[in-house]
Amino acid sequence: MSYVMLTADQALESLLAGNERYVNAKLTHPHQTIEHRTALVEGQRPFAVILGCADSRVPPEIIFDHGLGDLFVVRVAGNVVDDIVLGSIEYAVLHLHTPLIMVLGHANCGAVVETLKGENLEGHLPSLVRAIKPAIDKIKDQSVDLLDKAIRANANRSAEQIRAARPILYELVKADKLKVVTAYYDLASGKVEVIS
């Protein structure tokens, strides 16, 4: 199978163009044919890694109007970063040559809401709250739009952790071979906004 290699900027352009189609209900549903599915058996070359929340309202392939083999999607509540997430991203970058990573936060993120509440949670939920809390601590003195600011701060923190992940991701970002951006998805409008 032959692949079209995109630069990080072209990959971002493609994501945003797909989101524009989604927002305007002009979806093209690319790369969803039987032929394309069959061709992908031999390999994949996704042009972007999306680290997104596991929230069922934020499916990257749909909101970016892309199909099979286009996106390498890692989803976890609160789009937080841990060693498993970093390993998944490193795999895409090193072995699939993916040039762009997007950390995608979204409006009304339940994981951030629970962290802001500061209540005692059961099971493994405290682990999630511990991962989000440092981002919230940076902005907690801001009273206006606290949830929105906390969601954006959390996504930015995850992007910072990815950029700083040594040795692989850090070195690739430093050498301008990998781009990491942060974005915010509005549930009501469907619009994705790049925030950093």
Domains of the chain (ranges plus CATH)?
Answer: 8-194 (3.40.1050.10)
pLDDT for position 3: 57
pLDDT for position 50: 98
pLDDT for position 58: 98
SS3 label, residue 183: strand
**What gap in Å lies between CA 73 and CA 60, rounded to an integer?**
7
pLDDT for position 90: 98
pLDDT for position 140: 81
pLDDT for position 2: 46
pLDDT for position 121: 87
pTM of the model: 0.95
Spans in the chain with pLDDT lower than 50: 1-2
DSSP state of 76: -
pLDDT for position 181: 98
**What gap in Å lies between CA 178 and CA 7, rounded to an integer?**
9
